[in-house]
Amino acid sequence: MSALSLHDSLERPAPVPQRPGVGLLGCGVVGAGVARRLLLAHPGLLRAVAVRDPAKSRDVDWGTWDGDPFAVVDDPNVTVVVECIGGVRLARELVLRAIAHGKDVVTANKELIAHDGPWLRAFAARTGATLHYEASVGGAIPILRALETSLADEPILEIGGVVNGTTNFVLSQMEGGAGYSDALAKAQRLGYAEADPRNDVEGVDAAHKLAILATLAFGRPVAPSALAQRGISAIVPADIAFAAERGWRLKLVALARRTEGGVEAAVTPAYVPRSHAFARPDGAENVVRVVGANSGSLEFFGLGAGGAASASSVVGDIMSAIELRARGIAPHRGVVGDPLPVTGLQLPVVGPAAIPLLT
């Protein structure tokens, strides 16, 4: 099957003859941030909110909580469905239902997009809907929009960076003398890490984000299951000291490089010289570097974890969806076709823990 370009589009049905309305699915850390932003800056835009427990007290000034997310998706007053519940099975079902109704969808669900994003987007184009997921990578950093607009015609040679705020916070704390367990516990207290942090610390989250970035950058699906991944749970203070003695920093790096036959990619802890772009983030900050054949090296830097950062991108996507609908702009068909072949990242390893060195 041949790949479809991001620029290919289908004719969009006539705009829905009603004023825009947002249906929010989930009101956790990110969802609550989205709700507060909409209520403050766009009164009347938020029409319905579905939560798992309508009786639970929340720091959001909203009248009636709905316990049925499918009712929110089906609500005729809702034109944009915002999925903030997380997970895959229920989220996929709700997103598919919204798209089938021709409703625009905004999500921060990196796992869903990494696995199903290309075909979900292609399906959305066929129903006249759009699928937006800027918040799935990099928090408030507008990297996906840059790849789809300013860099849409640029041959990308390499993309990657430090894309998990939890692990970067933990490693930054360890540089300051904290042990791994104490640093992780602090990240959890501050809301940078989940109660079950395994997806973050074992590199799963970063692999999902790298798959999304590489798919958009290289124009063909990159399966997250094909990406080699190694997390930070085995990192000890001696590894941090080894880096410091040599003027390096230790980072969880996600990196993909285009090769003649496919992609060379991995998620791995890596020693990075302090002069390198990937050494720049502290705490929960992220950085993404794009290397283009014509553009050269471009760096995107900012806060990559926390509810406020992700909510900022979600609200931006909501506004974009509404604008595209109002202007009658046809959606992209997405990136489809056979997944690119992926091989492991070829980097030298150093030190007693055999950690790769990125130069």
Catalytic residues: 209
Q: Which backbone phi and psi does 282 adopt, to 5 degrees? A: -120, 155
> Given the DSSP bridges, would you call strands 156-162 and 131-132 parallel, antiparallel or unpaired?
unpaired
Residue carrying structure tokens 């950085």: 287
**Strand locations in the chain (E):** 22-25, 46-50, 80-83, 104-107, 131-132, 156-162, 228-229, 248-258, 263-273, 285-292, 296-303, 342-343, 349-350, 355-356
> If residue 97 lies in a helix (H) or strand (E), which one and from where to where?
helix 89-100
Query: Residue 113's CB: how many other CB atoms inside 10 A?
Result: 26
Residues 82 and 34: beta-carbon distance below 8 Å:
yes
Residues 188 and 167: beta-carbon distance below 8 Å:
no
Torsion over CA: 262, 113, 110, 328 (sign):
positive
First and final CA of the chain: distance in angstroms?
A: 37
